[in-house]
Amino acid sequence: MNILLMGLPGAGKGTQSELIVNDYHVKHIATGDIFRDAIKNETPLGKEAKAYTDQGNLVPDDLTNAIVRERLAQDDVKESGFMLDGYPRTLGQAQALDQNLTDLQMKIDAVIFIDVDQEVLKDRLSGRIICRNCGATYHKIYNPPKQADVCDNCGASDFYQREDDKPEKVAHRINLQMESIQPILDYYAEHGLLHKIDGDQSIENVFRSIRNILG
Which residues line the annotated binding site? 10-15, 31, 36, 57-59, 86-89, 93, 128, 131, 134, 137-138, 151, 154, 162, 173, 201
- The question of whether 173 is a catalytic residue gets the answer yes
SS3 193: coil
Instruction: Identify whether the C-beta of residue 87 lies closer than 8 Å to the C-beta of residue 97.
Output: yes
Catalytic residue (choose from 50, 69, 78, 89): 89
Which residues line the annotated binding site for ATP? 10-15, 128, 137-138, 201
In angstroms, the CA 190 to CA 111 distance is 12
Which among 21, 31, 107, 106 is positioned nearest to 71, based on CA atoms?
31
Which residues line the annotated binding site for AMP? 31, 36, 57-59, 86-89, 93, 162, 173
Catalytic residue (choose from 162, 166, 208, 211): 162
Catalytic residue (choose from 122, 128, 140, 196): 128
In angstroms, the CA 97 to CA 91 distance is 10
Catalytic residue (choose from 13, 27, 71, 124): 13
- The question of whether 89 is a catalytic residue gets the answer yes
Which residues line the annotated binding site for Zn(2+)? 131, 134, 151, 154
- The question of whether 162 is a catalytic residue gets the answer yes
In angstroms, the CA 33 to CA 68 distance is 11
In angstroms, the CA 111 to CA 3 distance is 6
Catalytic residue (choose from 50, 78, 122, 173): 173
Where would I find the H helices in the chain?
Answer: 13-24, 31-40, 44-53, 61-72, 75-80, 91-103, 118-126, 167-190, 203-214
Residues classed as catalytic: 13, 89, 128, 162, 173
